[in-house]
Amino acid sequence: MSNPSFPREPAVLMLEGPCGPLEVAVDPPEGDVTARPVVAVICHPLSTEGGSMHNKVVTMAARALRELGITTVRFNFRSVGASAGSYDNGEGEQDDLRAVVAWVRAQRPDCALWLAGFSFGAYVSLRASGALAPQALISIAPPVGRRTWDFDALQPPAQWLVVQGDADEVVDAQAVYAWLETLADPPQLVRMPDTSHFFHRKLIDLRGAIQHEVRRWLPDGSC
């Protein structure tokens, strides 16, 4: 299987992944904004609980970035949608992310790479950040405190945003805040009051929070 070229129009593609095809959705910036030399790869929540690249938090995060002129790449981890393979507790999913990033970098070598993730996707993108060295990282409701996943010895970039709902019923918000306080180089943190894990009735607020915090990171030029 040979990988396709990077599309200029919205497209759903199949890429060669570590255990078979990976389903990928590419969306260019919104038509009325200046395109920026950035491609953001966004990771979805837990595969075994219905998470996919069509999750509403993922699609809203992608929309927020496209409205700033960023090209977005969403994809389904192994076992989700048309992506092959079986769930691998975040280990194989890091390999999936690496495969998508390798394709993006080969196709858009002059673009900055940003990573983003929601819940399980935040964990996967955080774990992979040390090796992938993105210019920026957005972590939405990172699942700190889940014994299954290790949040020690991470290497996020200096430009790192964490968005956490105070009323999260899945992720312990206080565990997230306590963990961030232990870090030598903590991220920019946005705490959203009265906000549940899936940002019910708060998606527009999420979009605004992302745009407000990352706008200053935007590079000029094109790729």
Closest CA relative to residue 97, chosen from 157, 55, 137, 65: 137
pLDDT band, very low/low/confident/very high, at 223 (cuts 50, 70, 90): confident
Q: Copy the structure tokens of residue 202.
A: 């708060």
Tell me if the domain spanning 11-216 has CATH number 3.30.70.260: no
pLDDT digits (tens, 9 = 90+) for 40-96: 999 999 999 999 999 999 999 999 999 999 999 999 999 999 999 999 999 999 999
The answer for 148, left when phi > 0, alpha when psi is -120 to 50, beta otherwise, is: alpha
| Residue 83 confidence (pLDDT) | 98
Look over the chain and give the mean of its residue pLDDT values, rounded to a whole number.
Answer: 96
Q: What is the pLDDT of residues 87-128, one digit of tens each?
A: 999 999 999 999 999 999 999 999 999 999 999 999 999 999
d(CA 103, CA 123): 21
pTM of the model: 0.97
Q: What is the mean predicted confidence (pLDDT) over 128-146?
A: 96
Most distant CA atoms of the chain, gap in Å: 47
pLDDT tens for each residue of 162-217: 999 999 999 999 999 999 999 999 999 999 999 999 999 999 999 999 999 999 99
pLDDT recorded at residue 221: 80
Amino acid identity at 135: Q
Which letter does DSSP use for residue 134 in this model? -
